Amino acid sequence: MSSPVKDEQSDAMLEALIAKEILPQSGNWEGTEEFLNRVVQVLLKYIKDQNDRDQKILEFHHPDKMQMLIDLSIPEQPENLLKLVKSCEDVLRLGVRTGHPRFFNQISCGLDLVSMAGEWLTATANTNMFTYEIAPVFILMEKSVMTRMWEAVGWDPEKADGIFAPGGAIANLYAMNAARHQLWPRSKHLGMKDIPTLCCFTSEDESHYSIKSASAVLGIGADHCFNIPTDKNGKMIPEALEAKIIESKKEGLTPFFVCCTAGTTVYGAFDPLERVANICERHKLWFHVDAAWGGGMLLSPEHRYKLAGVERANSVTWNPHKLMGALLQCSACLFRQDGLLFQCNQASADYLFQQDKPYDVSYDTGDKAIQCGRHNDVFKLWLMWKSKGMEGYRQQINKLMDLSAYFTRRIKETEGFELIIENPEFLNICFWYVPSKIRNLEPAEIKARLEKIAPKIKAGMMQRGTTMVGYQPDKQRPNFFRMIISNQAITREDLDFLIKEIVDIGESLE
């Protein structure tokens, strides 16, 4: 870790380089080495502070004030090395420490140091993922990692396929596009003109909005993506799905795609995959499982039963940057049938995908992708997975589930807290805090007041900088907290702290 003396020595060396007008660039090792050493010291200090519970998660400033605290302009002339290092420090200081053990605001949080090291090395390699020619090791690595993922889903790795995509939303787009191509391959060339009016299905409010977005992008239409009602726990109701499929057919539409969610964004619900798979087989529909959040549960023998039936899916979205803890972004769309991705997305750019290369060109992945340039998202995942092994992930996921159960118990036994779902099945715990001064009001008045309570408590957290947890309304429910337990650094003490902080801020509200 850096010390003031070392920092002063490093600054002096940078000043000497500035005097010689040396800039950090690959052709000048003298300037590059000293500059990077100084940046590494900044990063190491940030990591240390981020894991110090006495340090704030953020220094909150409104946008107009924030713009006065940091110079974000692009100058006409080069800035010197010391100013660049100072800019790095300012950016990290004014940002949100999402790896802090008391940051519960998002599904993607935490800072796995091995994954971080992989990301550093990925940036250094700075290669594209479209051909074996320029990314030989990474192409093979991607296949090796996806083999583990296919096996976890329950598919035959010799027959499966997949692609790493820039986020779960794009992964879901890949799945819907492939589903349409399998049924109407001419749509790739002729568009929607000569095919029936399609429609698709996903759960009401609980599924990710990217399913409707994909329907819009592909020309199917957001209004032809039908929302299926869910039960009190946020799970899709299979009977309602089948009724809507039959109704759509009677109205002259052509159903083709059903999306189930394994780990919904708000409640962490797992749709009944087996029952929906039966419906899809009966009506010959593509069955997609959006397991962006819950896919990591497949690595826990004790909890993978929540995804029973996932092996029957035609495609699966799985985001290792969520439950597995890989750094953003790291998302895969997996397919049970090999070859379909290539058929669906192949563009045969002659300047990249020549067929007379001196190696097996089936290893070139670029023609499977919608995009041309594709970031290397696999190295950080591969390195992290090797550091834990399958047993390490089993322990990590089981620990998080144990923490979720502990937090639920504490919420139930602490006065003023009310759970939305009495027994959460995943790592999302949704609840209200009802301050003592309004507990004896009429139910309608309490409901009206609760709409403002969570936002005010959240604002208090941000002003203090001590912790962060998200909130939102849902259907007829006023704003409630959505607690996420996904950071592997979280302890029971951190959860107790959050409860105390909510009570303290909530009771101080006027």
Q: Select from 97, 118, 147 the last residue of a domain.
A: 97
Please report whether residue 111 resides in a domain: no
User: pLDDT at position 293, please?
Assistant: 97
Query: Is position 115 within any domain?
Result: no
Same domain (yes/no): 309, 285 = yes
Q: Which amino acid is at 128?
A: N
Contacts of 131 by beta carbon, 8 Å cutoff, 6+ apart: 139, 352, 353, 364, 365, 366
| Residue 102 forms part of a structural domain | no
Q: Do 310 and 134 contact (CB within 8 A), yes or no?
A: no
The Cα–Cα gap between 460 and 97 comes to 17
**Would strands 331-335 and 161-165 be described as parallel, antiparallel, or unpaired?**
antiparallel
Same domain assignment for residues 412 and 302: no
Residue 107 within any structural domain of the chain: no
The domain that holds 350 is classified in CATH as: 3.40.640.10
Are 139 and 47 contained in the same domain?
no
Cβ count near 408 (within 10 Å)? 20
Say how far apart CA 92 and CA 84 lie, in whole Å: 13
Same domain for 402 and 450, yes or no, is yes
Sheet (strand 103-104) strand order:
103-104, 468-474, 477-484, 428-433, 417-419
Contact, 261 vs 107, CB < 8 A?
no
Q: In a 3-state reduction of DSSP, which class is residue 409? A: helix
Quote the domain boundaries for residue 160: 128-375
Q: Are residues 142 and 210 in the same domain?
A: yes
Cβ atoms of 244 and 188 closer than 8 Å:
no
CB 326 within 8 A of CB 381: yes
Q: Do 284 and 187 have their domain in common? A: yes
pLDDT of residue 24: 57
Q: Going residue by residue through the chain, which has 510 residues, state the pLDDT in tens, using 9 for 90 and above.
A: 556 556 666 666 656 655 555 555 555 666 677 888 899 999 999 999 999 999 999 999 999 999 999 999 999 988 888 889 999 999 999 999 999 999 999 888 889 999 999 999 999 999 999 888 989 999 999 999 999 999 999 999 999 999 999 999 999 999 999 999 999 998 888 888 889 999 999 998 677 888 999 999 999 999 999 999 999 999 999 999 999 999 999 999 999 999 999 999 999 999 999 999 999 999 999 999 999 999 999 999 999 999 999 999 999 999 999 999 999 999 999 999 999 998 998 877 666 667 767 877 788 888 888 988 899 999 999 999 999 999 999 999 999 999 999 999 999 999 999 999 999 999 999 999 999 999 999 999 999 999 999 999 999 999 999 999 999 988 789 999 999 999 999 999 999 999 999 999 999 997
Alpha carbon 434 to its chain centroid, in Å, reads 31
Q: What is the CATH number of the domain that holds 473?
A: 3.90.1150.170
Q: Are residues 363 and 395 in the same domain?
A: no
Domain boundary pick from 340, 375, 410:
375
83/7 Cα distance (integer angstroms) = 14
Residue 17 is predicted with a pLDDT of: 58
The verdict on residue 133 lying in a domain is yes
Residue 61 lies in a domain: yes
Do 461 and 357 share a structural domain?
no
Cis peptide bond N-terminal to 25, omega within 30: no
| Domain shared by 415 and 310, yes or no | no
Indicate if 281 and 366 belong to the same structural domain.
yes
Tokens of 358: 């001196």
Establish if 70 belongs to a structural domain: yes
How many structural domains is the chain composed of?
Answer: 3
Please report whether residue 82 resides in a domain. yes
309: nearest Cα among 348, 262, 342: 262
- Same domain assignment for residues 366 and 400: no
For tokens 């007379």, what's the residue? 356
pLDDT at 350: 66
Residue 19's pLDDT is what?
A: 53
Q: Among the three residues 76, 97, 118, which one is the final residue of a domain in this structure?
A: 97
| Residue 84 and residue 23 share a domain | yes
